[in-house]
Amino acid sequence: MPRQILAAKNIHPAVKKKIADNHADIITEVQDAIAKHKVVVVGMAQNPAPKRARKTLDKLGIEHTYLEYGNYFKLWRRRNALKMWTGWPSFPMIFINGTLIGGSSDLTALVEADKLDKLL
């Protein structure tokens, strides 16, 4: 089921560029990393969930690229652009072969169900 997004016809022309350009650089940076690397973890400092995800990947010997954007007190607007782009509400955001698989608990569930290798 696709997520709900405000239709372009319901956005006034005067603000379309502002919406399109809203922290586009951070989205481009993540897109570039996803295109270049098999596994990408997007996180933030001080959050234990990205650390758990990276620890799980390290334990399994899975090479990954980590992008960190701020912490609870910094860069929240930039991180919000990533949340709006993906529709994923929290960090980390874990991408495998270009597909968002969710966060740390979703990664753990794939490992426990022995389904991670199929994605790699």
Q: What is the pTM of this model?
A: 0.93
Q: Which of 17, 6, 25, 5 lies closest to 75, judged by CA?
A: 25
pLDDT at res. 2: 81
pLDDT at res. 36: 98
Domains of the chain plus CATH, in order, are 10-119 (3.40.30.10)
Q: Do the beta carbons of residue 119 and residue 64 sit within 8 Å?
A: no
Average pLDDT, rounded, for the chain: 96
Residue 58 class from Cβ within 10 Å (0-12 exposed, 13-18 middle, 19+ buried)? exposed
pLDDT digits 0-9 by tens, 38-71: 999 999 999 999 999 999 999 999 999 999 999 9
CA distance linking residue 53 with residue 70, whole number of Å: 17
CA distance linking residue 17 with residue 21, whole number of Å: 6
Per-residue HEC secondary structure of the chain comes to CCCCCCCHHHCCHHHHHHHHHCCHHHHHHHHHHHHHCCEEEEECCCCHHHHHHHHHHHHCCCCCEEEECCECCECHHHHHHHHHHHCCCCCCEEEECCEEEECHHHHHHHHHCCCHHHHC
